[in-house]
Amino acid sequence: MATWKDLQLHLQTGKTVEQAERTLLEAEKRRWGDVLTHLISITQSLAERNLAFRGSSNTLHQQNNGNFLKEVELLAKFDRVMKQHIERVESGQFSHSSYLGNIIQNELVASISGKLMDTVATEIKQSKYYSVILDCTPDVSHQEQMSVIIRTVKMDKAPEIKEHFMGFLVTSETTGLGLSSLILKKLMELNIPFDDCRGQSYDNGANMKGRNKGVQARLLEKNPRALYVPCGAHSLNLVVSDAATASTDATSYFGNV
C-alpha cells in the first residue's frame, strides 16, 4: 500500500523515473537542435561567400582544418551552445557523430540547396511564364556541364525581372537531342511546366541554335511559343574577339610595311 501511495504521489507531481528520463530526452533534443541551428548558420555564411569548407585536416584546433571548423572554434569562444558541444567532443562523450565531419557538411549543403531550390521553383511557378538561358563549358576536370538560368518577371507592387541560377547539369553528350532532353528532365524534376516557357537563349553553336536538330528546334517542337533569342553576351564576345584579331593582324601588317 505504501509503495502504491508513493507511486500515486509521484504520478501526480510528475516525479516518476519515466518522467525524469523524458525530461532528459527533451533537453537533449533541444541541445542538438541548437547545435544544428548554429551549424546551418555557419554553412549558409560560408556558402554565401563562396568559401571552401574543408582543409587538409578534419580535426578541431588544427592549423589547416578548413573554414567550417574554424568558424565552429570562433563561435565557441562567445557562444555557450558551441562551447559545451566542443567540450563534449573533446572529452570523448560521443559514441556517434559529432556533426562536425565532412559528411554532415555535405548533407547540410544538400539540405539547404534542396530547400532553396523548392522556394525558387515555387516563385517561378507563381510568375507562370519564364525563359531559359543555357550555356555549356567544361570544368577543371574537363567534364562538360550545362549551366541553367531561368528568367521570370515577378509581379509584385512593381514588375521585377529576376534570373534564377538552377545549377549545373553534367552532360554526357553535347548533341541537340542530349542537351534538350537534359533541360526538359531538369524542369520535370522541379515540377515546372515547359508549356509555360516563352523564350530560350544560348550561344550560336550549331548544336544549340541549329534549325533542324539543335536545342532550339527540338524545344520548339515541344512548345512553339518558346521563341529562340541569340545570347547577346556571346554575340558581343564574338564581335570583340573578331575586332581584337583584326586589330592584331593590321598592326602586324603595317608594322612589317
Q: Which residues, listed in sequence order, are joined to residue 150 by a DSSP beta bridge?
A: 132, 164
Q: Please tell me whether residue 182 adopts helix, strand or coil conformation.
A: helix
138: helix, coil or strand? strand
pLDDT category of residue 138 using cuts at 50, 70 and 90: confident
* Closest CA relative to residue 104, chosen from 68, 71, 60: 68
The CATH architecture of the domain made up of 125-235 is 2-Layer Sandwich (3.30)
Q: What is the DSSP letter of 195?
A: G
Ordered DSSP codes for 237-253: HHHHHHHHHHHHHHHHH
Grid cell 517542337 is found at: 221
Predicted confidence at residue 41, as pLDDT, reads 93
pLDDT at 240 over 80: no
Q: For residue 252, name the pLDDT band (cuts at 50, 70, 90).
A: very low
- pLDDT at position 190 over 70: yes
pLDDT averaged over every residue in the chain? 81
Query: What is the C-alpha separation between 49 and 71, in angstroms, rounded?
Result: 13
Give the pLDDT band (50/70/90) at residue 142: confident
Q: CA 136 to CA 149: how far, in whole Å? A: 12
Q: What is the pLDDT of residues 191-222, one digit of tens each?
A: 999 999 999 988 766 677 677 788 888 899 99
For the chain, the structural domain boundaries read 2-110, 125-235
Q: What is the pLDDT of residue 194?
A: 93
The whole-model pTM stands at 0.66
pLDDT reported for residue 90? 86
